[in-house]
Amino acid sequence: MTILITGGAGFIGANFVLDWLAQSEETVVNLDKLTYAGNMNNLITVQEDPRHIFIRGDIADQGLMTQLLEIHQPRAVIHFAAESHVDRSIAGPREFVMTNIVGTFNLLEACRLAKLTKDFRFIHVSTDEVYGSLDYAEPAFTERHPYQPNSPYSASKAASDHLVRAYYHTYHLPLITTNCSNNYGPYQYTEKLIPNIIHCALLNKPLPILGHGKNIRDWLYVSDHCAAIMQVLNKGELGQTYNIGGGNEKPNIEVVNTVCELLDEIEPRIDGKSYKNQISYIADRPGHDLRYAINADKIKKQLGWQPQETFATGIRKTVNWYLNNRNGLNL
């Protein structure tokens, strides 16, 4: 049997491919455009593995997607491919519309028109950012929270979620959507907070923190996200959405302080001072959402998923991984 992954050379997709091949004999067809965010080095350990078939291509190429569905007859599509960085979506929203909306649309169309295998399912991987921003005291997002996206990134992901919903209701395509909080772990591109902080710290550069540093994100170790997606693939109910989160709400400044403390312990600065001395507050992002928080009760109760890592264990693993894999930091 075979599964088809989109965006499997990116951060979460690559972790998913590696975790999958470590525990399954099933072949993975991995379709990725290799934008700046896709990196074949993430997949170096499986490049000779006959169970991994990599194809460079665009999800917006409906002909190619149709061909892949016909040739490989996957029992599932797991759709990770996206433009994913909020700041880039503010600087240039077009690619976000083209990949996240038009690309997802073309992929759904290819599936709608294909002869799919019995028990086929399509997992659409989305984000908690579609729900908008919470105040500090508001309850965490449930699956019933209204969609209130605030950035071109979250708006484009919200649009793709709506298309997925419509294709389930209108065409009965076997679809499930997951909305996950901020991920961290190995193989993340250095533009994102945690690898960027480690990268700057080791180069003795300022550690940039947007605005007041009190924006809260709910952090989940990437393998826990991948395990949740596998659980949704195995047991999720068609047409449903599942929120995924680690219950680790942290202000950005606390995340940066924790990374600095780990670096102080594992690779201290030559002058013996803390890396915290490099922290530097910079101009805030326009429309910066204050807080995201996920209520993951549904997936825990209905599908029996639980994260394995606490923030303390996951962030230690992550810092150690980047220190041992400096090419992952472009160092």
Ligand X SMILES: NC(=O)c1ccc[n+]([C@@H]2O[C@H](COP(=O)([O-])OP(=O)(O)OC[C@H]3O[C@@H](n4cnc5c(N)ncnc54)[C@H](O)[C@@H]3O)[C@@H](O)[C@H]2O)c1
At its nearest, how many Å lie between ligand X and the CB of residue 57?
A: 7
Which of 129, 161, 218, 289 is catalytic? The answer is: 129
R_g over Cα of the chain: 19
Alpha-carbon gap, residue 193 to 263, rounded angstroms: 15
C-beta separation of 189 from 195 below 8 A? yes
Longest dimension (CA), the chain: 64
Tell me which of 3, 58, 236, 275 binds ligand X, using CB under 6 A. Answer: 58
Tell me which of 3, 4, 5, 7 binds ligand X, using CB under 6 A. Answer: 7
Which of 153, 167, 168, 184 is catalytic? The answer is: 153
Which of 83, 128, 218, 249 is catalytic? The answer is: 128
Closer to ligand X at the Cβ: 168 or 221? 221
Alpha-carbon gap, residue 78 to 32, rounded angstroms: 12
Alpha helices in 125-278 (DSSP H): 152-171, 193-202, 222-235, 252-266
- Site residue total, ligand X (CB under 6 A): 31
Alpha-carbon gap, residue 93 to 99, rounded angstroms: 10
Question: Of the candidates 182, 80, 83, 168, which has an alpha carbon nearest to the alpha carbon of residue 121?
Answer: 168
Alpha-carbon gap, residue 197 to 205, rounded angstroms: 9
At its nearest, how many Å lie between ligand X and the CB of residue 191?
A: 9
User: Nearest to ligand X by Cβ — which residue?
Assistant: 10
Length of the chain equals: 331
176 counts as binding ligand X under rule CB under 6 A: no
Is 25 known to be catalytic? Answer: no
At its nearest, how many Å lie between ligand X and the CB of residue 7?
A: 3
Closer to ligand X at the Cβ: 55 or 202? 55
9 counts as binding ligand X under rule CB under 6 A: yes
Closer to ligand X at the Cβ: 107 or 278? 107
Alpha-carbon gap, residue 108 to 59, rounded angstroms: 10
- Among positions 95-134, residues that touch ligand X (CB under 6 A) are 99, 103, 125-127
At its nearest, how many Å lie between ligand X and the CB of residue 31?
A: 6
157 counts as binding ligand X under rule CB under 6 A: yes
At its nearest, how many Å lie between ligand X and the CB of residue 243?
A: 11
10 counts as binding ligand X under rule CB under 6 A: yes
**E strands, the chain, in order:** 2-6, 27-32, 52-56, 76-79, 121-127, 175-180, 183-184, 207-210, 216-218, 220-221, 241-244, 249-251, 279-282
- DSSP letter (8 states) at residue 275: G
Is 167 known to be catalytic? Answer: no
Is 131 known to be catalytic? Answer: no
Closer to ligand X at the Cβ: 86 or 319? 86
Catalytic residue IDs = 128-129, 153
Q: Give the interface with ligand X as residue ranges (CB under 6 A).
A: 6-7, 9-13, 32-35, 37-38, 58-60, 80-84, 99, 103, 125-127, 157, 180, 182-183, 189
